[in-house]
A and B are shown apart, each in its own frame.
Chain A
Amino acid sequence: MKSENKKSVIVGIFTLIGIVILVAGIMTLGGQQKKFVKSFRAKAVFDDVAGLQVGNNVWFSGVKIGTVRKINFYGDSQVEIEMNIEEKTRDFIRKDSKATISSDGLIGNKIIVIYGGTTQAPPIENDDRLVSVMPLDTDKMMETLQENNRNLVSITNDLKNLTGKISEGEGIIGAVLTDSLLADNFRNMLSNLENTTINSNKITSDLSSFASKMNQEGTLLDNLVKDTTVFKSLQATAKSLESTTKEASAAATNFNLASEKIKETDNALGMLLNDEQFAQYLKGTLENLESGTDRLDENLEALQHSWLLRRYFRRQAREQAAQEEN
């Protein structure tokens, strides 16, 4: 009887452990597949789902947040994906987030990747439809790759021709590589360039020291920058210059007015410059004055030789001679 009880207990323990393994397996699987977590639904419509299946994972920022619940045809030939997404991730997925189809490895299962979304948009709601972005089509990738291959062949052909010409000494590069004279010139050029660089360095150094000197206290620029009295003085000078400029401007205006006046004949100077009749008259007057002066000279000459004044002029001549001797 004791043995029977022992067997019963052992069978009980055996059964219990078996059930525990089963339950643990189911709970772990359910936990991994988010079967026992509160979730909400979201949708996305694709032209081509590339072999996506029900149960495939949904990723957001590289974290699995749900699974594909249902795949239905939609419209003419599109496919609508219904996803179960963990409730706790709702705040991070925005209404303007995008969904695309990717793969969890080079040859892994297909997955839905949700990405993007801005904080300005509100969080996603139940049954919202995400903007879908079509994944890269491998056929198109291969086409592009083929085009690249053709370009590569063309480039390598060109390169082959180019290197052939260079090795034969054609063109500038070929000549540089094969002609010793050109090589010497090139070497000289490099030497000059080196000298220029040295000079440039020197200039830069000088400029640097000049700049440091300018920053020394007491220099003009330093005073200009730092000394407020110099600045005030300059300000006063500028003001004075401004008033001088104004006065010069006024003088120029007056001068313009005077010039305008001169052009007219209602004043003495204008008449002198512009009236021809007056000019003729003045010319005649001057001619008369000249002839009058000549006659006066003759008269004075005659007066010097008169006996009344001869004595005076002789004495004046003697005094002048004595002054010249001294």
Chain B
Amino acid sequence: MAGNTAERNYIISKKIDQFFIELASVFRFMKRFFVEVWFPPYEFREVLRQCYEIGVKSLPLISLTGFIVGIVFTNQSRPSLTEFGATSWLPALISIAIVRAMGPLVTALIAAGKVGSSIGAEIASMKVTEQIDAMEVSATNPFKYLVVTRVLASTFMIPLLVMYVDFVALMGAFINVHQNELTSLTTFFVEVFEALTFLDIFSSLIKSTVFGFTIGIVGCYKGYTSSKGTEGVGKAANAAVVMAMFLIFIEELLALQIVNFFRFN
């Protein structure tokens, strides 16, 4: 009888119900962000500090990754194009691949690993050590100071990082193409931009903004809602990375459909 009463507390199953409850919680968290972001006090200094932490400190790692991606992708694509004598299409192929997909995706995934986990762990540890409660007691809005600043910083910094990664990856590709095909820098970039459209650049920019927001909001949510205890910090960091990466792939898929709708209509 007690078991039947317990079963009646869930609509579908415990796990599925839990998923939707968490989803609703995420949306409430996002709603709070969009409300808080418009009202003062605006923590500009903290936003700048977070921009430095998220953007500038991630730059070396992300640039190196982008450079390697450019070289590797060029090298891996060459044999396929060589088979039908179209190596001159390498710059066009690389530019489309990097600007449309790989630049934003690689940047977002690296940032999700580095930034998402650090945000999740940082906020979770503050939660565990009751610093957030202390802030509330001292009349400081912890959501505004911790969440809004980090989400804004990641939303602004990821598109900028994507610009850097695109540039660095294309330079890596150029070095490889120049070594093998002796293509000049001018010819390479003329062919790169020949294959691109404004839609590619703006869709990449919008997509990376969404990725940045996702990384920030997921990291903050997982940290802000972590269970108490040191174990919760690790779980929050891990969950932030996993959830952010999963959502990034889902968003990439949706973005592709939307962009293709505009591209072919």
Contact = CB atoms under 8 A, between A and B. Distances in A.
A10 B48 CA distance: 10
A4 interface: yes
Contact of A7 (B52, B167, B189): B52
B196 A7 contact: no
A33 B201 CA distance: 14
B45 interface: yes
Contacts of B190: 32
B197 A55 contact: yes
Contacts of A11: 48, 51-52, 55-56
Nearest to B196: A29
Contacts of B160: 14-15, 18-19
B201 A26 contact: yes
Nearest to B86: A107
A33 B163 CA distance: 20
B161 to A, nearest CB: 8
A163 to B, nearest CB: 38
Contacts of A25: 163, 166, 193, 201
Interface majority SS (helix, strand, loop, mixed), chain A = helix
Given A29-B198, A29-B201, A22 B163 contact: yes
Contacts of A7: 48-49, 52, 56
A287 to B, nearest CB: 126
B52 A22 contact: no
A275 B160 CA distance: 141
B164 interface: yes
Most B Cβ at <10 Å: residue of A11, A15, A22, A35 = A11
Most A Cβ at <10 Å: residue of B86, B164, B193 = B193
The size class of the interface chain A forms with chain B is 20 to 34
A21 B59 contact: no
B108 interface: no
Contact of B59 (A14, A29, A32, A55): A14
Contacts of B161: 18
B90 interface: no
Nearest to A21: B163
Nearest to A53: B264
Given A7-B52, A14-B55, A32 B86 contact: no
Interface in B25-67: 45, 48-49, 51-52, 55-56, 59
A15 B238 CA distance: 29
B194 interface: yes
Contacts of A14: 51, 55-56, 59, 160
Contacts of B159: 18
A10 B163 contact: no
A144 interface: no
Interface of A: 4, 7-8, 10-11, 14-15, 17-19, 21-22, 25-26, 28-30, 32-33, 35, 55, 107
Interface of B: 45, 48-49, 51-52, 55-56, 59, 84, 86, 156, 159-161, 163-164, 166-167, 189-190, 193-194, 196-198, 201, 205
25 contacts: A4-B45, A4-B49, A7-B48, A7-B49, A7-B52, A8-B52, A10-B52, A10-B56, A14-B55, A15-B51, A18-B159, A18-B160, A18-B163, A19-B160, A19-B163, A21-B164, A22-B205, A25-B163, A26-B198, A28-B189, A29-B196, A29-B201, A33-B197, A33-B198, A107-B86
Shortest Cβ-Cβ A-B pairs, 7 listed: A18-B160, A7-B52, A21-B163, A11-B51, A18-B163, A32-B193, A29-B193
